[in-house]
Amino acid sequence: MSQSAFPGSDSSASYSFRDVRMRGFQDRTEVTDVVELLRSRLVPLPAETVDLHDAARRVLADDVRSEIPVPSFNRAAMDGYALRGSETFGATSYSPLELEVIGVVLPGKPFAGSLVAGQAVRIMTGAPLPQGADAVLQAEAAEEINGRVRITEAVPPGRHVGERGEDIEAESVVLRAGRVLRPQDLGVLASIGAGRVCVMRRPRVALVITGDELLPCGSRPEPYRIVDSNSVMLAALVERDGGIAEPARLIADRHDSVKGAIVDADADVVLVSGGSSVGQEDHAPRVVAEVGELCVHGVALRPASPTGLGFIKDRPVFLLPGNPVSCLCAYDLFAGVAVRRLGGRNLALPYRVQNMPLARKIASAVGRVDYVRVIVRERRIEPLAVSGASILSTTTRADGFVLVPRDSEGFAAGDNVQVYHYDEQIPGEAGA
């Protein structure tokens, strides 16, 4: 298997609208074609400048070059005594040397004078090295008595000195464009005097949840009605991928309601959960075809085959199945690609990947990609026995998933396969 089960393709997806309600799909678009369509149609959003305090996990838009060296002066790397290293040569515990201590230098307060032969200055970590000194004798190896410091070991020039520019050289590139800024990156940016930074704009994502049977998230289930679980899951996935999830709208299964919610959505991406399949009340595909361009409806993928993709004024609209596992699968393989693409992020699935042996076989069918939930037991994986698209709890019992390519009938027991781990920590590792 390549880096993903859906590498880039030279082909492009196309779709002529057919009303499949109560009829079923005649054809399904290949997963690779959907991903390639997203690659070709979408480009990253414009950049914006933000305060450094708001830049964590943002994507750097431009290379950052330091105008100054860090540190900008020679400084003590230890508490001790600044001196001339050459004067300590020959010092031993049997034949100690002594230097006169002529003052003290603290961080942020340079020494006013200059050292001459036979002199030393008491110095603290981070303080600028006095003129004339080129080494620091650490406090643990020194003994100061009556204004003189006794030296019992040689301290060569440069010892315990942080040299100007040793961390960052002036005019050097500190961070490259495309980097997702980590906490330590912000520290480096602060150290070169960057109070603001140019980053990619985060895509805003509208969530439209359809279904007469749905109750708002936070409700208690009622007879014949279930609680919307997709909105909170999708919002978390969008945030993970660097987007901003707008408050979800719960819409009835009515053509005009679905149309109004999709058309009125003020966002860079629209995610519609439910109403994408072949049921009588599945209106979303027709709505997109009426007001925009429906490029895909039906994908060669299990689960999530009723997934659709269209564009309204160049804004991608994803029709995600209402079944929770299918919704998760379709988001990760398609909608997540768009969110990451618009935000300037890596398009690869944002999961830890590991090759692991199968404890028992995974069966599949040629002609579709299979998203198989797996568990890890004793450093081997096995598919979950329950695989229904509406059984969301399987994704919490699962440690990850395997993608079976469309040209494969599955994997045999003992085969090494790529596992995408839901958690950052791989199960079975130390600290898990």
Answer yes or no: is pLDDT of 86 > 50: yes
Instruction: Tell me which residue range forms the domain holding 176.
Output: 53-70+169-200
Question: Do 196 and 61 lie in a common domain?
Answer: yes
Q: Counting Cβ atoms within 10 Å, is residue 74 exposed (0-12), middle (13-18) or buried (19+)? A: buried
Q: Which CATH number is 191's domain given?
A: 3.90.105.10
Instruction: Tell me the C-alpha distance between 272 and 263, whole Å.
Output: 12
**Torsion sign across C-alpha atoms 325, 330, 336, 339:** negative
Which residue, 372, 400, 390, is CA-closest to 274? 390
Q: pTM of this prediction?
A: 0.84
pLDDT of residue 8: 36
Which residue, 406, 429, 233, 240, is CA-closest to 326? 233
Question: Do 211 and 82 lie in a common domain?
Answer: no
Residue 432 lies in a domain: no
Domain boundary among 342, 363, 391: 342
Instruction: Tell me the C-alpha distance between 268 and 265, whole Å.
Output: 9
Question: Do 146 and 261 lie in a common domain?
Answer: no
Least confident of 23-37, 72-86, 219-233: 23-37
pLDDT of residue 282: 78
Residue 315 lies in a domain: yes
Instruction: Tell me the C-alpha distance between 35 and 39, whole Å.
Output: 6
For the record, the structure tokens of 255 come out as 């053509």
Question: Do 81 and 66 lie in a common domain?
Answer: no
Instruction: Tell me the C-alpha distance between 168 and 7, whole Å.
Output: 38
Instruction: Tell me the C-alpha distance between 374 and 388, whole Å.
Output: 13
Answer yes or no: is pLDDT of 13 > 60: no
Instruction: Tell me the C-alpha distance between 64 and 58, whole Å.
Output: 14
Q: Which CATH number is 366's domain given?
A: 2.40.340.10
Question: Do 177 and 213 lie in a common domain?
Answer: no
Question: Do 324 and 209 lie in a common domain?
Answer: yes
Question: Do 312 and 391 lie in a common domain?
Answer: no
pLDDT of residue 19: 64
Instruction: Give the alpha-carbon dihedral of 221, 225, 230, 233, to 10 degrees.
Output: 0
Domain boundary among 302, 318, 342: 342
Residue 9 lies in a domain: no
- Residue 74, amino acid: N
Other beta carbons within 10 Å of 385:
7
Residue 106 lies in a domain: yes
Q: How many domains does the chain have?
A: 4
Question: Do 401 and 302 lie in a common domain?
Answer: no
Answer yes or no: is pLDDT of 389 > 90: no
Instruction: Tell me the C-alpha distance between 234 and 272, whole Å.
Output: 10
Answer yes or no: is pLDDT of 194 > 70: yes
Question: Do 82 and 64 lie in a common domain?
Answer: no
Locus of tokens 């985060």: 202
Residue 431 lies in a domain: no
Residue 279 lies in a domain: yes
pLDDT of residue 280: 72
CA 401 remoteness from chain centre = 19
Question: Do 190 and 212 lie in a common domain?
Answer: no
Instruction: Tell me the C-alpha distance between 359 and 377, whole Å.
Output: 8
Which residue would you say has higher pLDDT here, 104 or 432?
A: 104
Answer yes or no: is pLDDT of 2 > 60: no
Instruction: Tell me the C-alpha distance between 20 and 18, whole Å.
Output: 6
| Peptide bond just before 7 cis, omega within 30 deg | no
Residue 24 lies in a domain: no
Answer yes or no: is pLDDT of 53 > 80: yes
For the record, the structure tokens of 381 come out as 């994986």
Of all residues in the chain, what percent carry a pLDDT higher than 70? Answer: 90
The CA angle 419-237-37, to the nearest 5 degrees, is: 80
Answer yes or no: is pLDDT of 432 > 50: no
Mean pLDDT, all residues of the chain: 89
Domain boundary among 281, 307, 342: 342
Answer yes or no: is pLDDT of 221 > 90: no
Q: Which CATH number is 251's domain given?
A: 3.40.980.10
Question: Do 62 and 103 lie in a common domain?
Answer: no
Of all residues in the chain, what percent carry a pLDDT higher than 90? Answer: 77
* DSSP secondary structure letters along 338-406: HHHHHTT---S-SSEEEEEEBSS-EE--TTSEEEEEEEEETTEEEE-S---TT-THHHHH-SEEEEEPT
Answer yes or no: is pLDDT of 89 > 70: yes
Confidence of residue 394 (pLDDT cuts 50, 70, 90): confident
Confidence of residue 25 (pLDDT cuts 50, 70, 90): low
Confidence of residue 355 (pLDDT cuts 50, 70, 90): very high
In 256-359, at which residue ranges do the beta strands (DSSP E only) sit?
Answer: 269-273, 293-297, 301-302, 308-312, 315-320, 352-357
Question: Do 247 and 316 lie in a common domain?
Answer: yes
Which residue would you say has higher pLDDT here, 19 or 21?
A: 19
Q: Which CATH number is 85's domain given?
A: 2.170.190.11
Each residue of 341-352: pLDDT tens digit?
Answer: 999 999 999 999
Residue 383 lies in a domain: yes
Query: Hey, which residues does 175 pair with through a beta bridge?
Result: 64
Each residue of 94-144: pLDDT tens digit?
Answer: 999 999 999 999 999 999 989 999 999 999 999 999 999 999 999 988 999
Each residue of 285-316: pLDDT tens digit?
Answer: 899 999 999 999 999 999 999 999 999 999 99
